[in-house]
Structure 1
Amino acid sequence: MLKSLDPRVTRLNLPEGEAPAIEPKPELDQFETYEAFHQKKESAAYTYVGPVHAPNEDVAFLFAKEQYSRRYACVGLWIVRTEHIQVTPYVGDQENVYDMLRMEEPGERSAEAEAYEIFHLKKRGKAHTHAGRVMATSYQEALQEARKQFGEKGLIVNVWVVKSKHVLQSAEEDKDMWTTIPDKKYREAIAYKVMDKITKYKEEHKTTASS
């Protein structure tokens, strides 16, 4: 039997001279990646805070809340699957990416316009911030509309574009998730009012698995 300095290999009892067969990884071997944006206070713009890995967007929402809002002010949360975000090239801090993009004249619309969310990076090393919403029939047209509406508001290093329908947004009734009991100075996970949502998810997952 093949022996190795790694005891895990030795325990496989592999015949001498034969390499182990490599099996392909199963589908969904790892969680999907989602990007999280949070709102520090009412009327403030949503700002990118980081990624999370989760099996679906509802769990990604809970993971993002636990990871990015436990000890910081937060009244709202947005979650977007990474693959749904279209990204422009990056430019220097003293340049405007809208000036570098080749913008085509919009032709006659062949589809109904839908909402797109626009996020700007104003300086390298900072975070993307929500600039606003535009109506368009494609990502390219959304960039064109964004340039018209937001392109003159200072230097922009990079732009993220995502369809509004791909954004999971916290609702007004979700705000109690960040409420803690009065004697808690810091936001500890045990103080969050989210057990109902977690229990609901477990029950739904259990029902799906049994069926």
Structure 2
Amino acid sequence: MSLKSLDPRVTRLNLPEGEVPAMEPKPQLDQFETYEAFHQKKEGAAHTYVGPVHAPNEDVAFLFAKEQYSRRFPCVGLWIVRTEHIQVTPYGNDGENLYDTLHAQEPAARSEQPEPYEIFHLKKRGKAHTHAGRVTATSYLEALQEAKQAFGEKGPVVNVWVVRSKDVLQSAEDDKDMWTTVPEKKYREAIAYKVMDKITKFKEERKNTPA
């Protein structure tokens, strides 16, 4: 099934399918679409899911995600995917490998040419989906089967996301300077302000002050 949204502002009403309050139809683009952002901390590291953004298109979504998710921590790359383009599997239990429950299926005859798909694994509930690798297939189902063959031994895996590579907006290799406009970015990191040192000092002073 397709992922609808990971943003609680969209899902918090928890309305059953097909049941919505009576209201006038909303104009087209009355609300922005949701996009999911994947962050790469350093060269060679896998892209990891960091959160959603609302935007009118993927270019603006990339800008919003860059400002929201690459300001406080090191970042060398960003991927953006429209939420509806992510296909998800059912969730398994922690410690188990979801791939063990997937049964091989014969792919239907297709005229389409194979294309690349990106595979993301969730290793444990409460953690973030991380890019596991790329497979080539003619459908989401076939991509999932190919992922089982390629990455199925890397368990445990409790959930899998599948995305066509062409649906992923990736930061360009030759645009690395966009992440280095502020040297080390320390002025935006809480640790640079030694917050915990100040809190510890305050506690000590309070503890040593007579009542």
Q: TM-score range by the shorter chain?
A: 0.7 to 0.9
Judge conservation of contact 1:115–1:163 (CA < 8 Å) in 2.
yes
**What code does the residue aligned with 1:170 have?**
S
Counterpart mapping for 1:10-25 below 5 A: 23-25=24-26
Residue identity in the other structure for 1:94: G
The 8 Å contact of residues 180 and 187 in structure 1, kept in 2 or not, is answered as no
Computing the radius of gyration from Cα coordinates, the structure with the larger value is 1
Partner residue, 1:80? 81
Q: Normalized against structure 1, the TM-score is what?
A: 0.75
1:90 aligns to 2:91 (yes or no):
yes
Aligned length: 168
Q: Aligned-pair distance for 1:79?
A: 0.1
Call closer, same or farther: CA 1:186–1:22 in 2, change over 3 Å: same
Greater relative contact order structure (CA < 8 Å, 6+ sep): 2
Structure 1 residue 109 displacement after superposition: 4.5
**Partner amino acid, structure 2, of 1:95:** E
Partner of 1:52, secondary structure, is strand
> Scaled by the length of structure 2, what TM-score is found?
0.75
1:184 Cα deviation from its structure 2 partner: 5.6
Q: 1:90 Cα shift?
A: 0.1
Q: 1:103 to 1:70 in 2, by over 3 A?
A: same
Q: Percent identity?
A: 81
1:117-170 deviations in Å (ceiling 9; x for gaps): 000000001000000000000000000000000001121000000000000000
**CA separation in 2, counterparts of 1:111 and 1:23?**
41
After superposition, give the CA deviation of every residue in 1:13-37 in whole Å (9 maximum; x if it has no partner): xxxxxxxx95321111100000000
| 1:26-45 correspondence to structure 2 within 5 Å | 26-45=27-46
Task: Indicate the residue corresponding to 1:185 in structure 2.
Answer: 186
Q: After superposition, where does 1:98-113 map in structure 2 within 5 Å? A: 98-106=99-107, 108-113=109-114
Shift of 1:94: 1.9
CA contact (8 A) 1:34 1:57 kept: yes
**Equivalent position amino acid for 1:66 in 2:** E
Q: Quote the offset at 1:81 in angstroms.
A: 0.1
Q: 2:66 & 2:137 partners in 1: Cα distance?
A: 31
Gaps of 5+ in 1: 1-20, 189-211
Name 2:71's counterpart in structure 1.
70
Structure 2 portions without partners, runs of 5+: 1-21, 190-211
